Amino acid sequence: MTHESTAVGLASAYSNATTASGDWWRDAVIYQVYVRSFADSDGDGIGDLRGVRSRLPHLARLGVDAVWLTPFYVSPQADGGYDVADYRAVDPLFGDLADADELVRAAHELGLRVIVDVVPNHTSEQHPWFRAALAGEPGARERYLFRRGRGADGSLPPNDWESIFGGPAWTRVADGDWYLHLFAPEQPDLDWTHPEVTAEFDSVLRFWLDLGVDGFRIDVAHGMVKADGLPDIGRGAQATLIGTEPLPFFDQDGVHEIHRAWRRLLDSYESRRIGVAEAWAPSSERLALYVRPDELHQAFNFRFLTCPWDPEAMRTVIDESLSATTAVGAPTTWVLSNHDVVRHVTRYGGGRQGLARARAAALLMLALPGSAYLYQGEELGLPEVTDLPPESRQDPAFRRGRPQPPAPTPGIIAPREGEPPALPQAAAGAAPEPQLAPQAQGHTGPEAQAGPGPEDRGCCGPQADSGPAPEPQLAPQAQGHTGPEAGVGPRPQAAAGAGPEADGGAGQTADPRTAPEAEGQDGLRDGCRVPIPWDGPEPPYGFGPAGSWLPQPPAWAGLSVAAQTGDPHSTLELYRAALELRRAMPGLGAPGAGPSPDPCGMRWLPAPDGVLLFTRPGFACTLNTRPDPVELPAPGRPVLSSAPVDTDGRTVRLPPDSCTWWAF
């Protein structure tokens, strides 16, 4: 008997224990909206807040609990808005403050919470504070990290720190002083020992909390405090050490006092406003310090994002992550993709294989205790776009690896020839979160979620095969309706599962990590930011009235929301079914939900090589990472699968690269 259904009919019978409680964030599914690429309301080709508001019903129907918005503040856009010039105003590119207010109200009416980015490690070079510092206003430089240079004439940087974007982390100004920028020169680091900095960000947080937002994603939450004396590191390629070794500019103990103060501020508001850390730490135990009871509510779990397609590695990351957060009474977060990493369909190999693994990984992630983050478009099974023309690229790291005409801010000395080349690292605001895509299918649905097959891949690079793929499935008794409707750190240098089959676009086979367009940086942040398709046979696929700021591939017509809606084999319907089941089954979601001797409500069971099998109260999950089917005793009744599952009730034949949910 083959199970292959995607509708869920259990939500009326059960509700998740924490949904009705104040601790909504402990098992929330949060959807990341990259505002520039979500929906354009005015036809300028750039997504905006009104566009986001118009598409909120899609998120409500998808079944997420909250929306995280990337920065929409006034900014020169040197780094996609993570260079903020005014923290209390909306950039005209995205609308105005009234649009932000209306978006928050509309989201709340649909039962969605709203989380916004805050960028406290650095400002824009166009921020009034930094302009005053360059102008020589008394005391203005004390808000930033200005230092005299080394050497007899001060012509050498104050220390050997490197920018995450490559080159020195210091830029010299006209009077000879140097200022620190861990990211682009347009993003000067603040000095968090200065009381005006602390007071300013308290005021900024209150401004947005008073407007009604439900929390903040804190960019570079591990970076605001630097080691005393700014000591040398003594080695190069420093960005590759982030998250693996102690560094004097990241994860200093002093950041925790800042987060404790912010927790007190958040707790002073009603309705459980939350703080989410984009933090990199050398170990799970260090990361757990950010979510102690008196600090932030969540921290991104990048170890899960960078984990390869390997069952032993996955189990190790899951166990260590749960152990570390359980020790401090916090939930674990899980994420597969975001605006700074290669989409997981492509990371897992691209084509049919990448799509199948991505769908399976999505079900694995949503079955684990804690909170999950989805990146816009992963519910459509979008692959990375690897063949963007260089003239359309806007990632500052991409440009920093090529000769560019200098356009420095007045008072700043342009970089000299011969500076170290750019390192292939993530940018400010980037939280390396490689993540699993929503497609683990094996279906023939019209959305052709995988896009063109190996012999007919389109310009968007590694796509899933348009032929039969694993089908999302639900038990027949669960049918009836489709249910109610998303850091900075090292990016994986080798994408998990990526191989030569990953298409480089234009019908050619290429490794996106070494393609010519990746020269000078990892080259792929623009590729995950291409505006998503909503409907229609050709670009911009309903993104807006005109074009889009990055070109969309022709093959994406079959991946649009409209094309996938109602198709029981589509990745979109797989996500909708999974999110409804996650709410419906009492054993899913929050740590400790339901009776279990394990504090996480989860227990591993023996399984064949290449297979993971764990249970939670009334629930089991199987993940087959092997390229061939595996037979084992059926752990229960199948309720959802990323690919067709054959079972006679006693044994089950698990398809390759698939995940199945079971009830018992």
Residues with catalytic function:
219, 278
Nearest-10 crossing angle of helices 255-267, 195-211 = 30
Tell me how many degrees the CA angle 608-614-616 measures, rounded to the nearest 5.
Answer: 160
Stated length of the chain: 664
Q: What is the 3-state secondary structure (H, E, C) of 417-431?
A: CCCCCCCCCCCCCCC
Cis peptide before 540 (omega within 30 of 0): yes
Left (φ > 0), alpha (ψ -120 to 50) or beta: where does 304 sit? alpha
Are 63 and 99 in contact, with CB atoms under 8 Å apart? no
43-61: string of b/e by CB count within 10 Å (b at 16+)? eebbbbbbbbbbbbebbbb
Residue where the block lists tokens 């903040």: 216
In angstroms, the CA 42 to CA 170 distance is 39
Q: Which residues pair with 276 in a beta bridge?
A: 217, 298
Separation of alpha carbons 31 and 639, rounded Å: 24
Give the Cα separation of 171 and 181 in Å (integer): 8
How far are the Cα atoms of 30, 32, 148 from residue 172, in angstroms, in the given order? 41, 36, 9
Name the percent of the chain in helix, strand, coil, to the closest 5. Answer: 25, 15, 60
